[in-house]
């Protein structure tokens, strides 16, 4: 079964095709420890959107809408299509993210978007 899982960059890797989906490298984590297959920084929210959201849970719904707009119509459309190809060609894809909040982050939005557009 094809699966898109989420995993924090600070948690031990647990298999799958691992894709970092943050624009910035996670602080304090070495490249070797992260065990990535790919870094898809271009599918991450724009710097402006990331700064506006500022990990504030009360802004999450609007952040989600704006981020989906960027994924569909922004400069990242080619990178999104490339990531969709990756998802289609691997049984177990892990979207790696750094934020502490597991319920309000870009990886959740991206996973839902990829699932919808598979």
Tell me the average pLDDT of the chain.
95
- Residue 2 in this model has a pLDDT that exceeds 80: no
Are the CB atoms for 41 and 22 separated by under 8 Å?
yes
Residue 118, pLDDT score = 87
Largest CA distance in the chain: 37
38-39 sheet: strands from edge to edge: 3-8, 92-97, 17-20, 38-39
- Residue 1 in this model has a pLDDT that exceeds 50: no
Residue 3, pLDDT score = 81
Burial class (CB in 10 A: 0-12, 13-18, 19+), 9: buried
Q: Residue 85: which residues within 8 A CB-CB, separation 6 or more? A: none
Proportion of the chain above pLDDT 90, given as a percent:
94
User: Helices (H) and strands (E) in the chain — how many of each?
Assistant: 5, 4
pTM exceeds 0.85? yes
Q: What is the mean pLDDT of residues 81-99?
A: 96
Q: What digits encode the pLDDT tens for the residues 12-52?
A: 999 999 999 999 999 999 999 999 999 999 999 999 999 99
Q: Among 77, 75, 81, 45, which residue's Cα sits nearest to residue 63? A: 45
């Amino acid at each position: 079964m094809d699966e898109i899982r989420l995993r924090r960059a600070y948690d031990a890797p647990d298999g799958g095709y691992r894709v970092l989906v943050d624009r910035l490298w996670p602080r304090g984590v070495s490249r070797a420890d992260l065990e990535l297959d790919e870094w898809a920084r271009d599918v991450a929210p724009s710097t402006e959107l990331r700064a506006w959201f500022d990990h504030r849970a009360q802004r999450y719904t609007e952040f989600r809408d704006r981020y989906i707009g960027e994924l569909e119509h922004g400069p990242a459309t080619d990178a999104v299509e490339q990531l969709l190809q990756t998802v289609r060609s691997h049984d177990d894809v892990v979207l790696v993210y750094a934020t502490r909040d597991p319920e309000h982050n870009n990886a959740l939005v991206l996973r839902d978007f990829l699932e919808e557009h598979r």
